[in-house]
A and B are shown apart, each in its own frame.
Chain A
Amino acid sequence: MSEFILETRGLTKRYGGVHALEDANFNLRHGEHVAVVGDNGAGKSTFVRQITAVEQRSAGDVIFDGQPVHFAGPLQARESGIETVFQTLALADDLDVPSNLFLGRELFKLKLGPFSILDRKAMREKTLEALKTTAVKIPNIDNPIRNMSGGQRQCVSIARTAAFASKLVIMDEPTAALGVQETAQVENIIRGLKARGVPLILVSHNLRQVFDLVDRIVVFRRGRIVASLRRDETDGNDIVSYITGVKGGVEV
Chain B
Amino acid sequence: MAEPAHGLGGLKYDPSKKARPQELNVFIAFVIIVAAFEILGRLIIGESFLFNTREGTSGLFNTQRLSIIILQVATVGIIAIGVTQVIITGGIDLSSGSIVGATAMVAMSFAQTALVNGNPNPKAIFGDWAMDLPILIPILVGLTCGLIAGLINGALIAYTKIPPFIATLGMMVSARGFARWWSTGNPISFPTESYNAIGSGMRPVFVFIALAVLFHLIMTYTKYGKHSYAIGSNEQATRMSGINVDRHKVLVYIIAGMLASVAAIVVSSKGQTAQANMGVMYELDAIAMAVIGGISLQGGRGSIIGTVIGALIFGVIISGFTFLKLDAYYQEMVKGAIIVGAVVLDQWRQKSRGARA
Q: A residues engaging B (CB < 8 A)?
A: 54, 73-76, 78-79, 86, 88-95, 99, 103-106, 108, 112, 114-118, 120, 136-140, 142-144, 146-149, 151-152, 155, 179, 181-182, 184-185
Contact = CB atoms under 8 A, between A and B. Distances in A.
A88 B7 contact: no
Interface of B: 5-11, 13, 15, 18-19, 218, 221-224, 226, 229-230, 232-234, 236-238, 240-243, 248, 251, 300-301, 353, 356-357
A181 B243 CA distance: 33
Determine which residue in B6, B9, B221, B229 has the highest number of CB atoms from chain A within 10 A of its CB, and name it.
Answer: B9
Contact of A143 (B19, B241, B248): B19
A106 B223 contact: yes
Prevailing SS type, chain A contact patch:
loop
Contacts, number: 122
Contacts of B18: 140, 142-143
29 contacts: A79-B242, A86-B240, A89-B237, A91-B234, A94-B233, A95-B233, A99-B229, A103-B243, A104-B242, A114-B224, A115-B222, A115-B223, A115-B224, A118-B221, A118-B222, A136-B8, A138-B7, A139-B7, A139-B13, A139-B15, A140-B15, A142-B18, A143-B19, A144-B19, A146-B353, A147-B19, A149-B357, A184-B9, A185-B8
Contacts of B300: 92-94
A89 B237 CA distance: 7
B240 A137 contact: no
A28 B232 CA distance: 37
Given A92-B229, A147-B19, A179 B9 contact: yes
A92 B234 contact: yes
Given A94-B300, A149-B11, A185-B9, 17 more contacts: A74-B241, A78-B242, A89-B237, A94-B233, A95-B233, A99-B226, A99-B230, A103-B226, A104-B241, A114-B248, A118-B221, A138-B8, A139-B5, A139-B13, A140-B13, A144-B19, A155-B8
Contact of A152 (B7, B242, B248, B251): B7
Given A91-B234, A117-B222, A118-B221, A74 B9 contact: no
Contacts of B226: 95, 99, 103, 106, 118
A124 B253 CA distance: 30
B81 to A, nearest CB: 15
Q: Can you list the 4 inter-chain pairs with the closest CB atoms, starting with the nearest?
A: A75-B242, A181-B9, A104-B241, A94-B300
Nearest to A103: B241
Contact of B240 (A74, A114, A116): A74
B8 A151 contact: yes
